[in-house]
Structure 1
Amino acid sequence: MQRDPVDRETRGKRDLYDVSTWERRSAVDKLAAGLYRVGVAGTKAFVVLLALVFLIAQFVLGGLGAVSDPVVGVLVVLSVVPAFAIAAYIWRSDVTTGEPLSLLVATFLLAVLFAMFAAIVNSFLQPAFSSLPALIGLPLFFFLVVGPVEETVKLLAVRLFAYRDPRFNAVIDGAVYGAAAGLGFATIENAIYITRGLEAGLAGIEVVGAAGGTAATRALAGPGHVLYSAIAGYYLGLAKFNRENAGPIVIKGVLIAAFFHGLYNTLSGIVPGLLVAAASWITPPVALIGFILVYDGLVAYFLYRKLSAYRRAYADAGIRDGDGDPMPELTEFDPDTGR
């Protein structure tokens, strides 16, 4: 940690409190520290409550309440099975101590809430791109808005809670919590898509007919959310243990995840159509499924290389289970530092 020249040269021989060093001594010091803690906690609570209000509004006004129908609920659950499988694999790839279920569930739920922020920002900014030709406006919207915004809110779900916990004690943990955030985001997004347009009173086969096709399509989109946020989460973990370059590392992770996200959104509307036009025997569903499998496979390979590199380094270091846990770096934004 960088030190002031006076503090460095005196080497602790003089009391430099409130001159070039600081600690909690006076009543004002303690009051300031207490107000800071309250402010940080209050800001967190406000963000979570605001997201909760938006989510409730979706249930009341946006048709999300239709998920309470047993058939629709089952469709939503089935739509996230592929995404859950990817998240489970990433969790299993963690060679360090297992991540507690409480932190994983909290990250999942925060991502569900924060998805509302992404929906609002996307809806607000989309008209600015709709006036452009589709071949220009849509890619710009996907790369400049959808990708960065959605990957940022998913990363926020990790940063707000799990990141600060001492059990987040290895770089690879970031990928695990990032995957949990991606799963939460995919779950609520699938639920919104599946319930959109359903009218109160639909039941049984009517609901299946209205939502079944959407659920199948969303099942294909879910794994991407997990993969992208796991990549961003890995870099968040890297930033936690490299405080001097934490900012650029986090930005790098978001940029990579947002690029993969934006590229998927762009190509998914182009490549399947080209495949159908190139070969008459290829149907649109087959073309879409084939594209998604290939694209997600390439992104998964990118993530796999990151996780494998960490696993090899962990094995080469000869670390036994429970030994050598790295100490996380705290930042100036963490109230527990007392700074």
Structure 2
Amino acid sequence: MGELSGYLFLVMEMQTAPPSQPMWEIPLTPAPDRLTVWRASTPWQTVRSMLGLVIVCFFIAQISVLVVAGYIDGDMNGTIGPFDPMFTFLGGICLSPCLLLFFYLRRPKLTHTVQAYPDDGGSNLHALSGGMVVKSPGATKVQHHLFRSTAPLEMPRPLHLWLLFVLGVGISTVCLLPLTLLGANVWTLLLALLVVLPAWLIGFATPVFAWWSITSRHFGIHIARRDAEWMLAAGMLSTVPAIIINSVVSPILIGFVGLDPFTTGTLGEGLILFVSAPVGEELCKALAVLALSHLIISPKHGFYVGSTVGLGFALVENASYISMALAGDYSSISYFFTATLRGLSSIPGHAMWTGLSGYAIGCWLSRGNTLPSISGTAYLSDDAEANWVLYDKKGAVIEQSSWATVPSPQMVKWLGKHQKHAWQMPQTISIGLMMAIAGHALWNGSSWGVGMILIDNTSGLAIVLQLAWLVLMVLILWFCILRWLPTIVLSPKE
């Protein structure tokens, strides 16, 4: 059974019906207006379901590159040809189960509610589907309904997720350190193998969920869990065309002008990093936001959709970077710095850049513009208007502050300190997209440029300078975020 709803004073038991007592068979009926649904609070369920989905999307993104490369550049050397249909065929075979699993995981979630009303003309036993019955101490009438779940998004507290990240990365780094210091032997390899999977999961996923929890719990956005999960999933799927652009299309275009896109330290590599990646990735993420335009009812909602799409993109991208860090030399050190720096910079950066595009799209939609959407058409029935009441393990009702429609007091107090210096947000899609691309390009390009300046310097000073530049870029990123967020969250028009 799904969630149960009904009157608190009525005691209901779900049990197998005694054969000697008559029962009334109750058919399913449409959900009534203003239905109240009681449901156990499960804040970690979203994390678990999205964690499984991102692993599937990770393989979809990697395999899709091979499928497309077989049509365009079979040996992936930056030139058109040779065409390799077998490459594409085998890639398609490997891709098919991943796609099937993706759609299975994203199948609509249904809620089954049962309501019993005191009625002198009713019965004590009511048969439901699945061989179950409702038994009540007095005569009742029973209704039960099946509808698509509109349960509110629940997320664990950000503090809990950040503690998991800090402890997980710290313990994983310590466990990987013997392999770095002592080299490979039976014990160091065994310890590394035991820790590598949880290290990977915690390193790439936990900071994304922590940032998502902050925006979901403190920005004053009320959103259904299924819609929020689709935002994150859309961001994951947007990595597919972005990776194809960066791995197949852009190298061919750069090769046309006589540059080498694959050799480290060349201008061709730089063009991939500070032109192809920002343009391709931000365009793909913006298209994902446009596909979710039916969920955007204000510029602030546009920012939330955009930032969540950006976090979904960062999930898949981060999984790749953490994998490379764990597989490379000095895995403990590279894992620690990769997980930490990306958790504090690249992940919120993706959310912020796509949030700029999303806010601009929200402004465009608020001016009366619309896009075609499958929602509200004959293909999908209207959702039931359900009032969700969540309760904890002890049965106590949980306050609805976690999905309130106003920013949390903590967020208002924190952003209020920066409101006087707040910057205006982009009002048009073109400006929002250009700002997102420019910010992304500045991040990638400056990091690449500093690396090129110090490429021949192998001293410890060069490493310190590169780390110092990364710290400076993180501070600049957060300076910009703190200038934009007051306009987004505290604006009276939102």
For 2:440, the equivalent position in structure 1 comes to 261
Measured after TM superposition, the shift of residue 123 of structure 1 is 1.1
Q: Does 1:185 align with 2:185?
A: no
Task: Pick from 187, 191, 195 the counterpart of residue 323 of structure 2.
Answer: 195
Pick the structure with greater CA Rg. 2
- How many residues are treated as equivalent by the alignment? 249
Measured after TM superposition, the shift of residue 106 of structure 1 is 0.9
Letter in 2 for 1:113: L
Letter in 1 for 2:479: L
Q: Does 1:159 align with 2:290?
A: yes
Measured after TM superposition, the shift of residue 132 of structure 1 is 4.2
Query: Which segments of 5 or more consecutive residues in structure 2 lack a partner in the other structure?
Result: 1-56, 67-89, 99-192, 372-426
Change (3 A) 1:144 1:283: closer
Distance (whole Å) between structure 2 residues aligned to residue 290 and residue 275 of structure 1 = 17
Letter in 1 for 2:481: A
Whether the 8 Å contact between 2:310 and 2:354 is mirrored in structure 1 is: yes
Larger strand percent: 2
Measured after TM superposition, the shift of residue 257 of structure 1 is 0.5
Change (3 A) 1:149 1:241: same
For 2:240, the equivalent position in structure 1 comes to 116
Residues 29-86 of structure 1 show CA distances to partners (whole Å, capped at 9, x for unaligned) of xxxxxxxxxxxxxxxxxxxxxx898437279989xx9xx9873344343334444444
Q: Does 1:218 align with 2:342?
A: yes
For 1:306, the equivalent position in structure 2 comes to 487
| 1:1-339 pair list within 5 angstroms | 54-55=60-61, 57=63, 71-92=196-217, 94-95=219-220, 97-124=221-248, 125-129=250-254, 131-132=258-259, 137=268, 140-160=271-291, 162-165=292-295, 168-196=296-324, 211=335, 214-219=338-343, 220-243=345-368, 249-271=428-450, 280=461, 283-284=464-465, 286-308=467-489, 311-314=491-494
Residues 118-161 of structure 1 show CA distances to partners (whole Å, capped at 9, x for unaligned) of 0011112035336449675455444542112111222232322x
Change (3 A) 1:207 1:289: closer
For 2:414, the equivalent position in structure 1 comes to none
Identical positions, percent: 21
Measured after TM superposition, the shift of residue 179 of structure 1 is 1.2
Change (3 A) 1:136 1:282: closer
Change (3 A) 1:268 1:118: same
Letter in 2 for 1:226: A
Whether the 8 Å contact between 2:204 and 2:322 is mirrored in structure 1 is: no
Distance (whole Å) between structure 2 residues aligned to residue 191 and residue 154 of structure 1 = 18
Q: In angstroms, what is the RMSD of aligned CA positions?
A: 4.3
Whether the 8 Å contact between 1:79 and 1:216 is mirrored in structure 2 is: no
Any idea what SS the aligned residue of 1:107 has?
A: helix
Whether the 8 Å contact between 1:76 and 1:215 is mirrored in structure 2 is: no
Letter in 1 for 2:61: L
Distance (whole Å) between structure 2 residues aligned to residue 272 and residue 151 of structure 1 = 24
Change (3 A) 1:105 1:77: farther
Whether the 8 Å contact between 1:179 and 1:226 is mirrored in structure 2 is: yes
- Higher normalized contact order (CA 8 Å, seq sep 6+, divided by chain length): 1
Change (3 A) 1:141 1:285: closer
Letter in 1 for 2:491: R
Residues 214-266 of structure 1 show CA distances to partners (whole Å, capped at 9, x for unaligned) of 434533422211111111111111111124699x9222221110110011100
Distance (whole Å) between structure 2 residues aligned to residue 251 and residue 243 of structure 1 = 17
Larger helix percent: 1
Measured after TM superposition, the shift of residue 185 of structure 1 is 0.7
Whether the 8 Å contact between 1:236 and 1:249 is mirrored in structure 2 is: yes
Query: Which segments of 5 or more consecutive residues in structure 1 lack a partner in the other structure?
Result: 1-50, 315-339
Whether the 8 Å contact between 1:83 and 1:183 is mirrored in structure 2 is: yes
TM-score normalised by length of structure 2: 0.42
Letter in 2 for 1:294: L
Whether the 8 Å contact between 1:99 and 1:173 is mirrored in structure 2 is: no
Whether the 8 Å contact between 1:177 and 1:230 is mirrored in structure 2 is: yes
